[in-house]
Amino acid sequence: MFLIADRLLLSRKIALVAVMALGAASGFSGAALGQSSAQGDSASGNADRTRILLVLPFDNRTGQPSLDWVREAASSLLSSRFASAGFSPMSRADRMYALDHLGLPEGFQPSRASALKLAQTLDADDIIVGSYITDGNDLIAEARVVDIPHLRMGLPVTARGEMHSLIDIFDGLAWQLTRQMDPHFNLGEDTFIAAGKGIRLDAFEQYIRGITEADQAERLRHLKQSVALSPDFAPAWMALGREEYSSQQYEDAATTFARVSGNSSDALEADFYRGLSLLFSGRYPQAQESFSAVARELPLAEVLNNEGVALSRQGKDASAIFRQAIGADNSNPDYHFNLGVSLMRHQDSAGAIAEMTQCLKIRPSDAEAQTLLRTWKQGPAETPSQSQSADPEHPDPLERIERRFDEAAFRQAAGMMDQIEAARMAALSPHDRAAKLASQGQDYLDRGLILEAERLYQSAEESDGALAAAHLGLARVRQRVGDLASARKEADTALQLDPGNKAAQDLSRQLASTPEQKQ
């Protein structure tokens, strides 16, 4: 059986090759990265955030089938908050993949034994299991953390509230579970709850129904309702784009993927699939731009390959980009095939033959590659456009497109990028490190990512408590979540540290004139 663990391992190898080039260029070795990460964990006193979490759908114990959608809603909300808190929750796609390979239906409600089997299949370190009931107008949710390596179940945590506050209920539950997994976690519950305040419950319900319905027409209907209700809800746009892409509605999909905000964790994947949609629509320059934007952030092999295809389809030489794709993943025969075709088009017959030979070493049964190699060896050194395109029996070969974005590889590569950044941070002085963290925190706050922003401001304050920008940032976060007393305290501290700071002066005056109430 091909387990998720095997899939993740392969993805990690691919991601490692792609990112180590960036690490080397930055002057950091793998050992240095590991040391930096370990030092960072030790300094902060935090739990091991590299542990993989699996949040299972909650058990609906209400007796009301109309509330079945809350099962997946619980998993989605908790996973999102855990990711913002710095943990590594597994995606729904990986969970569905594991269920499929275990021969289990999508709506499967696991027992304790089967939940452990699923977690082991997914190579997860911890699983979150839970249930919910109703009590009058209230919804009551309960959850536990199961430590897989030690087969140990944590104490239950509960949260309750009225149905219209469903998102707040699960955000509060996520905060309690986070504190249980990491007792040193110092962000308040109100920050978790504020992180979900921008989500309309009706739009969120339509989104959950849209990703769980068995019928595609129903999935499309719910997702279109979700984005109509909440035009800024990126997860719904992403899910709608996937549905349109899978049904080959490429023009619509390209437009939909463009609506996924750059603030979203899905932004790079959206750009990748937008590039594919544009590629299949024949809009090659725009496709190249999409793939190039992703490659600047994470130069994964599939991204580079498709950027090369889009460039080549414009009649340009993409050999250099195909070489980069091979450098990121030398084991993919299609990348060697594409480089061979590109080299032959540009008069390098020896290089083309060498690449096609390598393609066949990896995949000996590739009939098209066999035919091309035989033709190239027999004839004069002519380009495909000069010879084969004029011969109906030997048409000009098309470069091969990588149609799938490896989400697991992306997560691993993103994690390694974070380690590279952590290594850079570790080399800075405490003051400079705090200033950098505060600047990043402001960027997150400007994008509306409150939980992530507070984590960075807290880290900045821990690095250098005398940095006014860190306290000013925390004041803005506390103001945003409605904790005015803490906001005033942080703003006053920022003013004491930097009396001439106009932003701190303005915020302090604004807070002084704001009535004392918790929003």
Percentage of the chain beyond pLDDT 90 is: 57
What is the arithmetic mean of pLDDT over 78-104?
A: 83
* Distance between CA atoms of residues 161 and 395, nearest Å: 66
* Distance between CA atoms of residues 303 and 292, nearest Å: 8
Q: What angle do CA 485, 489, 495 make, to 5 degrees?
A: 145
Q: Does domain 49-197 have CATH number 3.40.50.10610?
A: yes
Which residue intervals of 427-499 are DSSP H helices? 430-446, 450-463, 468-481, 484-497
- Measured CA distances, 172 to 183, 189, 252 (Å): 16, 6, 37
Q: Go through the chain and tell me how many residues it has.
A: 519
Residues of the chain with CATH 1.25.40.10: 201-296, 319-398, 428-512
Name the most confidently modeled range: 89-93, 162-166, 425-429. Answer: 162-166
Which residue's entry shows tokens 């930097």?
498
What is the arithmetic mean of pLDDT over 126-147?
A: 93
Which residue's entry shows tokens 């629509």?
281
Q: For residue 95, what pLDDT band results from cuts at 50, 70 and 90?
A: confident
Residue 519 has pLDDT above 50, yes or no: no
What distance, in Å, lies between the first and last C-alpha atoms of the chain? 52
Contact of 273 with 257, CB cutoff 8 Å = yes
Q: What is the pLDDT of residue 262?
A: 77
Architecture per CATH, domain 319-398, reads as Alpha Horseshoe (1.25)
Residue 414 has pLDDT above 70, yes or no: no
Residues of the chain with CATH 3.40.50.10610: 49-197
Contact of 171 with 77, CB cutoff 8 Å = yes
> Nearest 5°: phi and psi at 298?
-140, 105
Q: For residue 100, what pLDDT band results from cuts at 50, 70 and 90?
A: confident
DSSP 92-104: HHHHHHHHHHTT-
What is the arithmetic mean of pLDDT over 489-518?
A: 86
Q: Does domain 201-296 have CATH number 1.25.40.10?
A: yes
Find, among 305, 300, 288, the residue nearest to 417 by Cα. Answer: 300
Tell me: the pLDDT tens digits for 362-404?
999 999 999 999 999 986 544 444 444 445 455 679 999 999 8
What is the arithmetic mean of pLDDT over 319-340?
A: 96
Q: What is the pLDDT of residue 7?
A: 42
Burial class (CB in 10 A: 0-12, 13-18, 19+), 392: exposed
Contact of 73 with 196, CB cutoff 8 Å = no
Tell me: the pLDDT tens digits for 247-256?
999 999 999 9
Q: Does domain 428-512 have CATH number 3.40.50.150?
A: no
